[in-house]
Amino acid sequence: MIYKQIFQMVDMGIVILDKDFMVFRWNNWMENRTGLNSQEVEGKSLFQFYPDLKAPWFLRNCKAVFTFGNFAFFSQHLHGYCFPIKNTSFSFLEFPYMQQNCTLGPLRDKEGSIQYIYIMVQDVTEIAAYQRRLSFLANRDGLTGIFNRQYFNEQYTLEYQRHVRYGRDLSLIMMDLDYFKKINDQYGHLCGDSVLKTFTELIQERLRSIDLLARYGGEEFILLLPETGSCAATKLAGELRLLIREHTFTFKEISLKLTASFGVSSLGTSGDSREELIRKADAALYKAKKEGRDKVVLAEQ
């Protein structure tokens, strides 16, 4: 009696399935959130209502729970959700569906054999929305909105490890706006800020989704290019150089023609350390500046 009340009152979805994936129990929480009442669902196949769950990842884990009595975990981080339930909270634009942590586990009879499995559904939409917002704030540069140096360092470490594991190509482009200090001195910092914003927007538009642009210092930016060798990286740097050169930067009534310099370094078979690759890109950028600016220099491998 008490357990039945808890089953109905608890603030999480509980679904009980038999070995044929027929719904044995469907609690109040599931009724309220899905709009499907228990009489409608119980005794029928779960897949009649949620056909997307008839997928190998779900079936495999259910079979494992029935066979071994282990638990299976479908985290929001990896799966988003198991049951597509419309998100009615403030974050519905970010997450159209309720974000869920789901756990599967065994239910045994008196003899200890597993007759049913349960699925527990936890609504973690609010946490996921805050996490996304916090990670956005923690990882971005306040002025330009691109990634900050700390985030770059984390991602670069991961990409570098991937390179070591799988031997994939990896390149860096270090870039810097030429004579940026003069813009600040002559037209003021607001103009300088506007130039930096436009500069990053122009670069960002040209990149693939897997490339990562970050603000490395004042007017210095770094581009992480996974799966990219030195030829492709140098070609891209050349295109970016032209893009900046051909663009007219405007701020109020001011129009400016600007250039940028680029240093490229790549990990092929050179076996450079993580730090060495950055140092090489920086040295190549310095060389580009020294040789007259508005240039691309590829570091020696």
Q: What six digits make up the tokens of 135?
A: 């990670």
Using CA atoms, how far apart are residues 5 and 56, in angstroms rounded to an integer?
34
Residue with tokens 């959130």: 33
Name the residue nearer to other proteins (CB basis): 110 or 252.
Answer: 110
Name the residue nearer to other proteins (CB basis): 63 or 208.
Answer: 63
* Listed ranges 16-24, 64-72, 148-156, 234-242: which one lies at the site for other proteins (CB under 8 A): 64-72
The verdict on 71 binding other proteins (CB under 8 A) reads yes
- Catalytic residue chosen out of the listed positions 94, 111, 219, 239: 219
The verdict on 136 binding other proteins (CB under 8 A) reads no
Alpha-carbon torsion (49, 51, 57, 61), positive or negative: positive
The verdict on 60 binding other proteins (CB under 8 A) reads yes
Identity of residue 39: Q
* Listed ranges 26-34, 75-83, 141-149, 248-256: which one lies at the site for other proteins (CB under 8 A): 75-83
**Footprint on residues 173-232 left by other proteins (CB under 8 A):** none
The verdict on 274 binding other proteins (CB under 8 A) reads no
Q: How many residues lie near other proteins (CB under 8 A)?
A: 27
Radius of gyration of the chain from its Cα atoms, rounded to whole angstroms: 27
Whether 219 is catalytic: yes
- Print the binding letters for residues 139-178 with other proteins: x by CB under 8 A, - otherwise: ----------------------x--xxx------------
Question: 115-129: b or e for each residue (b if 16 or more CB lie within 10 Å)?
Answer: ebbbbbbbbbbeebb
Q: What six digits make up the tokens of 154?
A: 């984390």
Identity of residue 290: K
* Listed ranges 7-15, 27-35, 58-66, 265-273: which one lies at the site for other proteins (CB under 8 A): 58-66
Please state the length of the chain: 301
Q: How far is the CB of 238 from other proteins (least distance, A)?
A: 30
Contact 45, 22 (CB under 8 A): yes
For 199, other C-beta atoms within 10 Å of its C-beta total: 24
Strand 114-123 versus strand 100-108 pairing type? antiparallel
* Listed ranges 68-76, 123-131, 188-196, 286-294: which one lies at the site for other proteins (CB under 8 A): 68-76
The verdict on 77 binding other proteins (CB under 8 A) reads yes
The verdict on 69 binding other proteins (CB under 8 A) reads yes
Strand 100-108 versus strand 72-74 pairing type? antiparallel
DSSP per residue over 263-281, as a string?
Answer: EEEEESSS---HHHHHHHH
Alpha-carbon torsion (218, 200, 153, 278), positive or negative: negative
| Residue in 63, 133, 181, 290 binding other proteins, rule: CB under 8 A | 63
* Listed ranges 21-29, 73-81, 193-201, 235-243: which one lies at the site for other proteins (CB under 8 A): 73-81
The verdict on 70 binding other proteins (CB under 8 A) reads yes
The verdict on 56 binding other proteins (CB under 8 A) reads yes
**Footprint on residues 79-108 left by other proteins (CB under 8 A):** 79-80, 103, 105, 108
In terms of phi and psi (left: phi > 0; alpha: psi -120 to 50; beta: otherwise), the region of 69 is left
Q: How far is the CB of 249 from other proteins (least distance, A)?
A: 35
Contact 281, 299 (CB under 8 A): yes
Residue with tokens 């490229």: 264
Contacts with other proteins by CB under 8 A lie at: 55-57, 60-61, 63-64, 67-73, 75, 77-80, 103, 105, 108, 112, 161, 164-166
Residues noted as catalytic:
219
